[in-house]
Structure 1
Amino acid sequence: MSQVRVLIADGFAKDGLDIFSKNSSFQIESRKATPADELLKIIADYQCLIVRSASKVTKDVMDKGTNLKLIVRGGAGVDNIDVPYATSKGIAVMNTATANSLAVAEQVFALMFSMLRMIPQGAMSLRDGKWEKSKFTGREATGKTLGLIGLGNIGRIVAEKAVAFGMKVVGFDPMIKLQAQLGGALGASSAFSFAGSVEEVLRAAHIVSLHVPKNKDTLNLINSARIDLMRDGAYVINCSRGGIANEDDVMAALDRGKLGGAAFDVYDPEPPQFPKKLFEHPKCVCVPHLGASSHEAQDRVSTTAADQIIGFFTEGKRLGVINKV
Structure 2
Amino acid sequence: MKFKVLVTDKLEKEGIDILKKYKEIEVIEKDTMTPEELKADIKNYDAIIVRSATKMKKDIIEAADNLKVISRAGVGVDNIDIPAATAKGIVVMNAPMGNTVSTAELAFALIISLARKIPFAYASMKDGKWERSKFNGIELKGKTLGVIGLGRIGTEVSKRAKAFEMNVLGFDPYLSEERAKDLGIELSDLNRIYKESDFITIHTPLTDQTRGMIGKNEFAMMKKTMRIVNAARGEIISEQALADALKEGVIAGAAVDVYAKEPPFEPRNPLLDAPNLITVPHLGASTEEAQFNVAMESAETVANFLVHGVIVNSMNMPSINKELFEEFKVYIKLAESLGSLISQVVEGQVEEVTVSYEGDISHKDVSLLTRAALKGLFQSFMGESVNYVNAVSMSQSQGISVVEKKDPDFSSEYTNLIRLSVRTTKETMELWGCVYSSNVAKIVKFNDYFFEMKPEGIFLFIYNEDKPGVVGKIGTVLGNNSVNIAGLMLGRDSKTKIALSMVHIDSEISDKVKKELEAIDAIKKLKVIKL
Q: Give the TM-score of the pair, scaled to structure 1.
A: 0.93
Number of the residue aligned with 1:298: 291
1:9-48 matches, cutoff 5 A? 9-48=8-47
Partner amino acid for 2:19?
F
Are the equivalent residues in 2 in contact too, given 1:51–1:72 (CA < 8 A)? Answer: yes
- The total of aligned residue pairs comes to 317
Are the equivalent residues in 1 in contact too, given 2:247–2:275 (CA < 8 A)? Answer: no
Number of the residue aligned with 1:105: 104
Q: Give the TM-score of the pair, scaled to structure 2.
A: 0.58
CA apart distance, 1:84 = 1.8
Query: Secondary structure in 2 aligned to 1:78?
Result: coil
Query: Secondary structure in 2 aligned to 1:33?
Result: coil
Is 1:309 the counterpart of 2:302 in the alignment? yes
Structure 1 Cα separation of the partners of residues 126 and 316 of structure 2: 50
Are the equivalent residues in 1 in contact too, given 2:149–2:171 (CA < 8 A)? Answer: yes
For residue 203 of structure 2, the aligned residue among 194, 199, 211 is 211
CA apart distance, 1:128 = 0.7
Number of the residue aligned with 2:474: none
Number of the residue aligned with 1:279: 272
Number of the residue aligned with 1:62: 61
CA apart distance, 1:153 = 1.0
CA apart distance, 1:25 = 1.5
Partner amino acid for 2:247?
D
CA apart distance, 1:247 = 1.2
Structure 2 Cα separation of the partners of residues 259 and 16 of structure 1: 44
Is 1:288 the counterpart of 2:281 in the alignment? yes
Cα 1:200–1:88 change in 2 (3 A) is farther
Query: Secondary structure in 1 aligned to 2:260?
Result: coil
Structure 2 Cα separation of the partners of residues 217 and 320 of structure 1: 23
Is 1:226 the counterpart of 2:225 in the alignment? no
Q: Which runs of 4+ in 1 moved over 3 A?
A: 274-277
Cα deviations by residue, 1:71-104 (Å, 9 ceiling, x for unpaired) = 1111111121111221122111101111101100
1:125-140 matches, cutoff 5 A? 125-140=124-139
Task: In structure 2, list runs of 5 or more residues that go unmatched.
Answer: 319-531
Cα deviations by residue, 1:155-174 (Å, 9 ceiling, x for unpaired) = 11111111111111111123
Query: Secondary structure in 2 aligned to 1:120?
Result: helix
Number of the residue aligned with 2:262: 270
Query: Could you say what the CA RMSD is over the residues aligned between the two structures, in angstroms?
Result: 1.5
Structure 1 Cα separation of the partners of residues 264 and 256 of structure 2: 12
Cα 1:287–1:188 change in 2 (3 A) is same
CA apart distance, 1:215 = 2.0
Structure 1 Cα separation of the partners of residues 35 and 172 of structure 2: 35
Identity among equivalent positions (%) equals 38
Task: In structure 1, list runs of 5 or more residues that go unmatched.
Answer: none
CA apart distance, 1:56 = 1.5
Are the equivalent residues in 2 in contact too, given 1:170–1:201 (CA < 8 A)? Answer: yes
Are the equivalent residues in 2 in contact too, given 1:5–1:46 (CA < 8 A)? Answer: yes
1:161-200 matches, cutoff 5 A? 161-176=160-175, 178-180=176-178, 182=179, 187-189=181-183, 191-195=184-188, 197-200=189-192
Q: Which has the higher strand share?
A: 2
Cα deviations by residue, 1:129-162 (Å, 9 ceiling, x for unpaired) = 1111111111221211111111111111111111
Query: Secondary structure in 1 aligned to 2:252?
Result: strand
Structure 1 Cα separation of the partners of residues 270 and 261 of structure 2: 14
Structure 1 Cα separation of the partners of residues 40 and 264 of structure 2: 26
Structure 2 Cα separation of the partners of residues 173 and 104 of structure 1: 18
1:235-250 matches, cutoff 5 A? 235-250=227-242
Structure 2 Cα separation of the partners of residues 175 and 67 of structure 1: 39
